[in-house]
């Protein structure tokens, strides 16, 4: 046997089977090896051979498998988010090699992991050459990376990935990588004796894609706003944040609204006017935000940071201590007579049984050692206020109250009805139409009635007061600018458009023609004279008005008969003798045409186009006799120049016609047409003469009768609070009733009896429309508050429809459960890796609104510095912006005319956060190997062509989120400036917005700098030169301290 032709197992000195041969045994299906190592005879040996090329292929496959694992691990350690403007960065950025099915937020991940796998595989292949014997070695290789963009792009394209998470035909946790272009060769004595290019596919198990997907999901959920529909299960940060905020905010709102000592008083100062500085204070938002963050961690990873409980316990204790102290101060203020806080009573202090923990920095920031207990007796005794009368014992705590209020649509607060009379809309519509000031709507009377009603409902509780943002005198009146509809209706009705023309023009007969003398011949005519012996003019005038809107008013037929005589003189010369003669002839001719005058009635009103039975003649019609009759004569005077009705025939004969100039029909028609005027309009000045005032009085009287009848015939609308609070039209039934009867009042007859009745119908129709308009004003004002809140809720112009209803529904859900239920992600089970569990490690664990230093948080470092940098820096992990916003304080849910019972405010919490470092480790049960995915602000480099090349950067996990809390509490509210609503922190009605930010707003992240803070958006923060802030530090003894700087 040729010693170079193969490898003998029996003669191998090592007496061991190389792993590469096992790989070959699996690859070469046509070879069956049967081992008898334990029973082989002493006299001989059984040998089999594996070719060097097969051994090289097996070695390459091992290198690929290791390259996949190592490349994935390095990718997870530095998961590239942003590419640099370098050859390698551009190659990654432009690569079109997304992983099929993968929906990562960061599109760089697919090509980046391929490049990592390629580089690790290439390095493994270079190190994996094997010596077969003294003269023969096997080699496998990939081209080393160069710093050329096209060559790097080619390397990326050589790696294809399929991931079990995204493929139906693969198990979860499996990664199948195919590397092409691997050169495999056998070299003997320095010469390549065998060579081929292979594509190798290897499937291995890895948790890196699970880590990548869950971390990006975590970041996406942190960035969800309250109404973000991209998170289908409502498990985003903002929703979890809101679930924890709603009970806190509503507790405060109802305490202030219902607790007699927590309400503002006229004597209170700006500092003591309210029990709470804000419905959500920033230190509370910080604590609640962290609780929500840990909840999102548990939802996404199935676990949360192991230090979560350790940091949250003192933070919650701080919130509780501050709240208890505030309530105690409010109660003490009430006992002291209002105006200034009093010290807690000895009895209350003695009754305290628990104190907040003073360990850790959180209580130091919050003010440790508040040892107050607070009885909610004063609060609960007012619970009858929002619900009407309730039976049974009074609710014992806030949970009972909020559950009773929002627990279902059958609660008394939603069952209570209100009656809205049609007169609320018909009366101002009537007054507006007739042009009179609106009487009977006294602001003071209505205000007093609303307060008295609510005070009675509340059991005369002193919490019901009449504090107004601007004072009662600043509330708007319900006046309006009176219309002039009666006058405008008359002006537009009493008008006739008239015009004149000719028709049936004709002529008969001919002019006379004298004959030549009949004796001799050769006569030549030398002169002709035609004279009129007689002229006879006749005019036949017919008036034709009827009930049509467009009609003939006059037909005036003009006939002209003329007797003509022609005298013609002749001359003839014969034998130099001149002879003369005269001949004559007579004839008659008749000219005729009809002047037609038409009148058009088309005022362009909204009433139906019906006939007017007595448009030009009264004929005994009831009501005013004023019609268009004066327009008949006026149309003749207007359209026939020089012609008056009383002398029409003579005027036409003497003024219109000049018979002596008429020889043919065109002469006749031209003279008449020249006398016709242009189309014109005859208005009320002519048609009504001096009877206008009588017509106006009659029309107003008729409108009053119609108004009284409609008020009697249309039923008042009774609606529930729930219907007004929802999106349903509260006046739809009233509108339908009005539509059912309006024709009876607009059209009492099949035709209009006179033009006055037409004008009356138009006025009543305008009144009905105006009544509907007043209903629309009511509904629009009722909706305006909802729309204004909709504009505040939801992301960037894409406001969610029915946002307010959704917010109230969310409030009901948040307030109707006894505790918050955490949702935990399921544990993954994979065939290759077994069960996968995740360990979360965030730095800082608790995102504080006070910046942290490197002494307290070692991962705090300057921006874009890696973890090995020695430079010190401050890191702002969290910032909160608290915005209490509504167009007017205490925006009412329902405005005039019902003077509704509920006012609302929104509290908008904007939160910005950024980890210094966030990493997740996946533990597997089968392989016992961990994978760690780490996100921190650092540069990413790769060694390419013997140098470290910039690839890009890793972004830290950061987020911005907006959460809107809608609070609605009962109280006397009169649109638009009602009594103070919950959350109003204003001194007047125009400056009604309260915005407060923590010190790092707009500047979260590493290298905290005061100059980067968004001061324009935060009126509570001074300028950068005078701003101060607190930060967390660690002393040399290891204690955490809170220090102040600026």
Each residue of 697-729: pLDDT tens digit?
Answer: 899 999 999 999 999 999 888 776 556 555 567
Quote the pLDDT of residue 957. Answer: 96
**Which of 308-312, 538-542, 595-599 is the least confident region?**
308-312
Whole-Å CA distances, 513 to 119, 567, 583, 663, 812: 125, 9, 10, 13, 110
Quote the pLDDT of residue 644. Answer: 93
Task: Count how many domains the chain has.
Answer: 4
- Asked whether residue 854 falls in the same domain as residue 870, the answer is yes
Asked whether residue 458 carries a pLDDT value surpassing 70, the answer given is no
For the stretch 792-824, pLDDT in tens is 433 432 333 333 444 444 554 554 444 455 555
- Asked whether residue 878 falls in the same domain as residue 775, the answer is no
Task: Give the helix ranges, DSSP H, for 747-865.
Answer: 755-792, 803-815
* 807: in domain: yes
Span 511-537, mean pLDDT?
89
Quote the pLDDT of residue 643. Answer: 93
- Asked whether residue 676 falls in the same domain as residue 778, the answer is no
Quote the pLDDT of residue 196. Answer: 92
Q: Which helix (H) or strand (E) holds 940?
A: strand 938-944
Query: Are 908 and 795 a contacting pair, CB within 8 Å?
Result: no
- Asked whether residue 154 falls in the same domain as residue 176, the answer is yes
* 36: in domain: no
Residue 389 vs residue 159, higher pLDDT: 159
* 421: in domain: yes
Asked whether residue 324 carries a pLDDT value surpassing 90, the answer given is no
For the stretch 173-196, pLDDT in tens is 889 999 999 999 999 988 889 999
* Helices vs. strands in the chain: H and E counts, helices first: 27, 28
Quote the pLDDT of residue 708. Answer: 92
Span 1015-1030, mean pLDDT?
71
Asked whether residue 125 carries a pLDDT value surpassing 90, the answer given is yes
Quote the pLDDT of residue 773. Answer: 87
**Which of 277-286, 763-772, 808-817 is the least confident region?**
808-817
Quote the pLDDT of residue 768. Answer: 93
Asked whether residue 891 carries a pLDDT value surpassing 90, the answer given is no
- Asked whether residue 174 falls in the same domain as residue 269, the answer is no
- Asked whether residue 242 falls in the same domain as residue 132, the answer is no
Quote the pLDDT of residue 334. Answer: 42
Quote the pLDDT of residue 949. Answer: 95
* Mean of pLDDT over the chain: 72
Q: Which helix (H) or strand (E) holds 852?
A: strand 852-853
Most confident of 251-265, 434-448, 707-721: 707-721
The span from the CA of 304 to the CA of 313, in Å, is: 15
Asked whether residue 971 carries a pLDDT value surpassing 60, the answer given is no
Predicted confidence band of residue 986 (pLDDT cuts 50, 70, 90): very low
Residue 56 CB coordination number (10 Å): 30
Quote the pLDDT of residue 992. Answer: 42
Query: Are 630 and 645 a contacting pair, CB within 8 Å?
Result: no
Quote the pLDDT of residue 133. Answer: 87
* 658: in domain: yes
* 150, 179, 206 - which closes a domain: 206
Predicted confidence band of residue 482 (pLDDT cuts 50, 70, 90): low
Asked whether residue 932 carries a pLDDT value surpassing 80, the answer given is yes
Asked whether residue 337 carries a pLDDT value surpassing 70, the answer given is no
Q: Is the peptide bond before 897 cis (omega within 30 degrees of 0)?
A: yes
Quote the pLDDT of residue 479. Answer: 46
The span from the CA of 117 to the CA of 81, in Å, is: 17
Quote the pLDDT of residue 398. Answer: 30
**Per-residue burial over 343-352, b = 16 or more CB atoms within 10 Å of its CB, e = otherwise:** ebeeebeeee
Contacts of 975 (CB under 8 A, 6+ apart): 476, 781, 892, 895, 896, 899
Predicted confidence band of residue 131 (pLDDT cuts 50, 70, 90): confident
Predicted confidence band of residue 1033 (pLDDT cuts 50, 70, 90): low
Asked whether residue 541 carries a pLDDT value surpassing 80, the answer given is yes
Quote the pLDDT of residue 869. Answer: 66
- Asked whether residue 898 falls in the same domain as residue 974, the answer is yes
Quote the pLDDT of residue 677. Answer: 92
Predicted confidence band of residue 476 (pLDDT cuts 50, 70, 90): very low
Q: What pTM was computed for the model?
A: 0.55
**Which of 10-24, 125-139, 295-309, 678-692 is the least confident region?**
10-24
**Per-residue burial over 2-28, b = 16 or more CB atoms within 10 Å of its CB, e = otherwise:** eeeebbebeeeeeeeebebbebbbeee
Span 214-219, mean pLDDT?
93
Predicted confidence band of residue 964 (pLDDT cuts 50, 70, 90): confident
- Asked whether residue 230 falls in the same domain as residue 148, the answer is no
* 206, 241, 267 - which closes a domain: 206
Predicted confidence band of residue 156 (pLDDT cuts 50, 70, 90): very high
Most confident of 114-118, 532-536, 969-973: 114-118
Quote the pLDDT of residue 396. Answer: 31
70, 125, 86: which is closest to 953 by C-alpha?
A: 86
- Asked whether residue 603 falls in the same domain as residue 546, the answer is yes
Query: Are 120 and 100 a contacting pair, CB within 8 Å?
Result: no
Span 88-107, mean pLDDT?
73
Per residue, what are the HEC states of 526-562? EEEEEEEEEEEEEEEEEECCCCCCEEEEEEEEEEEEE
Query: Are 977 and 924 a contacting pair, CB within 8 Å?
Result: no
For the stretch 554-566, pLDDT in tens is 999 999 999 999 9
Share of the chain above pLDDT 70, in %: 61
* 687, 708, 736 - which closes a domain: 687
* 11: in domain: no
Quote the pLDDT of residue 751. Answer: 81
Quote the pLDDT of residue 5. Answer: 39
* 115: in domain: yes
- Asked whether residue 264 falls in the same domain as residue 178, the answer is no
Asked whether residue 350 carries a pLDDT value surpassing 70, the answer given is no
Span 1029-1046, mean pLDDT?
54
Predicted confidence band of residue 332 (pLDDT cuts 50, 70, 90): low
Residue 666 vs residue 478, higher pLDDT: 666
337 phi, psi to nearest 5 deg? 100, 5
For the stretch 391-430, pLDDT in tens is 333 333 333 333 333 333 334 444 556 677 888 788 878 8
Residue 769 is classified by DSSP as H
Asked whether residue 296 carries a pLDDT value surpassing 90, the answer given is yes
The span from the CA of 82 to the CA of 790, in Å, is: 36
The span from the CA of 947 to the CA of 846, in Å, is: 39
Residue 1007 vs residue 967, higher pLDDT: 1007
- Asked whether residue 569 falls in the same domain as residue 429, the answer is no
* 26: in domain: no
Asked whether residue 920 carries a pLDDT value surpassing 90, the answer given is yes
Asked whether residue 222 carries a pLDDT value surpassing 70, the answer given is yes
**Which of 288-297, 334-343, 637-646, 992-1001 is the least confident region?**
334-343
Whole-Å CA distances, 960 to 230, 713, 1009, 1025: 15, 57, 19, 26
Asked whether residue 3 carries a pLDDT value surpassing 50, the answer given is no
Quote the pLDDT of residue 980. Answer: 44
Most confident of 431-435, 965-969, 999-1003: 999-1003
Quote the pLDDT of residue 144. Answer: 94
- Asked whether residue 202 falls in the same domain as residue 254, the answer is no
The span from the CA of 895 to the CA of 976, in Å, is: 7
Q: Is the peptide bond before 512 cis (omega within 30 degrees of 0)?
A: no
Contacts of 779 (CB under 8 A, 6+ apart): 729, 730, 731
Quote the pLDDT of residue 1018. Answer: 86
* 186: in domain: yes
Quote the pLDDT of residue 554. Answer: 93
For the stretch 577-621, pLDDT in tens is 899 999 999 999 999 999 999 988 877 777 877 878 777 775 555
Q: Which domain holds residue 619?
A: 495-687
Angle at 809 between CA 806 and CA 813, to 5 degrees: 135
């Amino acid at each position: 046997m040729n010693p170079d032709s193969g490898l003998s197992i029996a003669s191998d000195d090592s007496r061991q089977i190389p792993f590469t041969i096992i790989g070959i045994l699996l690859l070469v299906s046509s070879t069956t090896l049967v081992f008898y190592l334990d029973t082989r005879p002493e006299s001989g040996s059984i040998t089999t051979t594996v070719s060097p090329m097969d051994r090289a292929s097996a070695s390459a496959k091992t290198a690929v498998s290791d390259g996949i694992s190592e490349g994935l691990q390095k990718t997870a350690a530095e998961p590239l988010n942003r590419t640099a403007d370098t050859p390698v960065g551009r190659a990654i950025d432009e690569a079109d090699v997304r992983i099929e099915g993968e929906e990562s937020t960061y599109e760089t991940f697919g090509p980046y992991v391929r490049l990592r796998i390629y580089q690790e595989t290439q390095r493994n292949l270079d190190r994996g050459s094997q010596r077969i014997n003294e003269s023969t070695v096997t080699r496998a290789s990939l081209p080393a990376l160069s710093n050329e963009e096209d060559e790097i792009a080619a390397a990326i394209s050589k790696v294809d990935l399929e991931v079990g998470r995204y493929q139906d035909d693969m198990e979860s946790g499996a990664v199948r990588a195919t590397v092409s272009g691997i050169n495999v060769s056998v070299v003997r004595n320095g010469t390549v004796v065998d060579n081929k290019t292979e594509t190798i596919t290897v499937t291995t198990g890895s948790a890196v894609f699970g880590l990548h997907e869950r971390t990006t999901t975590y970041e996406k959920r942190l960035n969800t706003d309250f109404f973000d529909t991209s998170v289908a299960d409502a498990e985003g940060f903002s929703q979890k944040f809101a679930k924890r905020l709603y009970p806190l905010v509503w507790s405060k709102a109802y305490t202030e609204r219902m607790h007699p000592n927590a309400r503002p008083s006229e004597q209170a100062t700006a500092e003591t006017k309210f029990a709470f500085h804000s419905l959500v204070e920033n230190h509370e938002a910080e604590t609640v935000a962290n609780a929500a963050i840990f909840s999102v961690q548990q939802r996404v990873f199935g676990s949360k940071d192991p230090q979560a409980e350790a940091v949250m316990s003192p933070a919650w204790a701080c919130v509780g201590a501050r709240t208890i102290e505030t309530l105690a101060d409010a109660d003490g203020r009430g006992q002291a007579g209002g105006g200034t806080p009093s010290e807690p009573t000895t009895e209350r202090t003695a009754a305290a049984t628990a104190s907040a923990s003073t360990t850790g920095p959180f209580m130091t920031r919050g003010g440790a050692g508040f040892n107050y207990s607070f009885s909610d007796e004063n609060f609960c005794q007012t619970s009858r206020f929002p619900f009407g009368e309730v039976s049974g014992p009074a609710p014992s705590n806030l949970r009972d109250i909020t559950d009773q209020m929002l627990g279902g649509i059958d609660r008394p607060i939603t069952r209570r009805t209100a009656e809205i009379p049609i007169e609320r809309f018909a009366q101002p519509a009537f007054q507006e139409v007739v042009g009179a000031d609106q009487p009977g709507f006294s602001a003071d009377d209505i205000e007093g009635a609303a307060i008295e009603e609510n005070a009675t409902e509340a059991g005369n509780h002193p919490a019901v007061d009449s504090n107004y943002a601007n004072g009662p005198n600043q509330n708007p009146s319900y006046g309006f600018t009176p219309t002039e509809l009666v006058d405008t209706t008359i002006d537009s009705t009493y008008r006739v458009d008239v015009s004149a023309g000719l028709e049936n023009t004709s002529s008969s007969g001919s002019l006379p023609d004298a004959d030549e003398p009949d004796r001799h011949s050769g006569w030549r005519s030398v002169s002709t004279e035609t004279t009129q012996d007689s002229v006879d003019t006749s005019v036949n005038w017919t008036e034709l008005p009827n009930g049509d809107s467009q009609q003939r008013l006059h037909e005036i037929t003009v006939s002209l008969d003329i007797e003509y005589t022609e005298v013609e003189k002749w001359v003839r010369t014969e034998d130099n003798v001149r002879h003369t003669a005269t001949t004559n002839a007579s004839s008659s001719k008749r000219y005729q045409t009809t002047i037609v005058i038409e009148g058009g009635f088309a005022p362009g009103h909204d009433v139906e186009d019906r006939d007017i039975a007595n448009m030009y003649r009264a004929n005994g019609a009831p009501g005013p006799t004023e019609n268009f009759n004066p327009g008949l004569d006026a149309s003749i005077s207007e359209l026939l120049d020089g012609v008056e009705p009383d002398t029409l025939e003579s005027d036409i004969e003497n003024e219109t016609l000049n018979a002596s100039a008429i020889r043919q029909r065109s002469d006749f028609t031209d003279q008449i047409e020249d006398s016709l005027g242009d189309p014109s309009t005859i208005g009320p000045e002519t048609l009504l003469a001096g009877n206008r005032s009588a017509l106006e009085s009659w029309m107003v009287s008729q409108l009053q009768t119609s108004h009284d009848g409609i008020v009697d015939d249309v039923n008042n609308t009774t609606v529930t609070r729930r219907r007004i609070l929802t999106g349903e039209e509260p006046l739809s039934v009233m509108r339908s009733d009005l539509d059912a009867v309006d024709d009876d009042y607009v059209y009492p007859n099949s035709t209009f009896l006179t033009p006055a009745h037409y004008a009356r119908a138009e006025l009543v129709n305008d009144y009905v429309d105006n009544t509907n308009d007043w209903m629309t004003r009511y509904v629009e004002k009722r909706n305006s508050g909802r729309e204004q809140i909709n504009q505040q809720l939801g992301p960037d112009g894409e406001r969610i429809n029915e946002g307010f209803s959704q917010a109230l529904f969310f409030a009901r859900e948040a307030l109707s459960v006894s505790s918050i239920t955490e949702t935990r992600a399921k544990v993954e089970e994979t065939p290759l890796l077994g069960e996968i569990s995740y360990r979360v490690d965030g730095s800082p664990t608790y995102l504080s609104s006070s910046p942290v230093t490197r002494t307290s948080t070692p991962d705090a470092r300057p921006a874009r510095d890696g973890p090995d940098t020695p430079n010190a820096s401050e890191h702002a992990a969290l910032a909160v912006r608290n915005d209490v916003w509504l167009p007017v304080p205490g925006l009412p849910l329902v405005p005039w005319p019902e003077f509704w019972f509920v006012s609302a405010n929104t509290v908008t919490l904007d939160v910005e956060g950024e980890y210094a470092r966030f990493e997740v480790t996946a533990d597997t049960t089968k392989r016992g190997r961990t994978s760690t995915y780490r996100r921190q602000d650092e540069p990413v480099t790769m060694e390419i062509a013997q140098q470290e090349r910039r690839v890009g950067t890793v972004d830290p996990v950061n987020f911005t989120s907006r959460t809107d809390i809608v609070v609605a509490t009962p109280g006397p509210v009169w649109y638009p400036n009602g009594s103070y609503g919950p959350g109003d922190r204003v001194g007047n009605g125009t400056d009604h917005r309260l915005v407060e930010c923590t010190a790092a707003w707009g500047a979260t992240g590493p290298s905290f700098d005061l100059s980067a803070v968004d001061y324009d958006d935060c009126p509570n923060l001074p300028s950068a030169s005078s701003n101060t802030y607190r930060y967390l530090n660690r002393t040399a003894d290891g204690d955490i301290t809170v220090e102040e700087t600026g």
